[in-house]
Amino acid sequence: MTSSSFDRFCRTVPRRSVVTCFAASAAGSSNSGGDLNPYEVLGVSPIEGFDVIKAAYTKKRKDAERRGDEATASRLEKAYDKVMMAQLSNRKKGVTFGSFKVSKDIKFADKQPIVPWGPRFSKSSDQDTRINMAISAVFTAWVLIKQNAEYKPLQFLSFVFVYRIFEKLKAFEPPVSPTFTEDGEDPGRGVRMGKRLLRSLALVFGCIAFTSLAYTGLLNLIEFVGGYIPAFLYNNQEPLVTVTSALFLYIMASYYR
């Protein structure tokens, strides 16, 4: 940083020899909201433009996903979210310091999505993606070999992916400051776990319900147009629904949360 830039963002109090940096307060103190310093995690300066911060986050996130380092990817996302919230807060307050401006990418970040409970794009690491693919392949092979197992492969498949999505939601959950009772318990922990579980169940059984309804709708459509339902399609409901559900659950667990 040049001396002119330093003079622009900082002022020195001679009596106590303390340097107060307004850029840090504008973007959020490095120690505020926990021990996570988002700028150190992203490897950028607090006075960088948001486009620079976003580029650094994107590059580091892709590198972490390429290595299969889920912990680093989660840490980067939490840091990026923290910077976004700091900029959103500054936008609401009308605070600007020099070239530090709110990016147009988060101009409307305070608005709720149209479907807040719907799936959100979030790519898993390569290792998790391979694990999800292997799980789907195993249950697909099971139902194709057995042909008729009274939907047991689909039942076990759903429970496995509930756990997989539950753990993914946990990894991407933003950091919170726990509040302890007199007995040393955190009442919010159970609420957070309950929300993750309900969302995991909704995503998994939503995929299965969509597949089942699609199969039934296809049969009804064929009958409606006066066609003949193929025997293979009519007599293999369980394998078809299970295989299609396995595909949708793989996509959901690997690319959404």
Tell me, letter by letter, the H, E, C secondary structure of 204-220: HHHHHHHHHHHHHHHHH
- CB 165, CB 203: distance < 8 Å: yes
- Select from 71, 106, 141 the last residue of a domain: 106
| pLDDT at residue 106 tops 60 | no
pTM: 0.55
Whole-number Å distance between alpha carbons of 30 and 23: 11
222 domain-assigned: yes
Is the domain of 178 the same as that of 237? Answer: yes
CA–CA–CA angle 217, 218, 223 (5° rounding): 95
Is the domain of 139 the same as that of 87? Answer: no
Is the domain of 101 the same as that of 130? Answer: no
Is the domain of 79 the same as that of 184? Answer: no
Q: What SS3 class is residue 42?
A: helix
| pLDDT tens per residue, range 192-220 | 888 889 999 999 999 999 999 999 999 89
Higher pLDDT, 99 or 176: 176
Per residue in 3-42, is it b (16+ CB within 10 Å) or e — as a string?
eeeeebbeeeeeeeeeeebbbbebbbeeeebeebbbbebb
Whole-number Å distance between alpha carbons of 156 and 46: 48
Domain that holds residue 52: 11-106
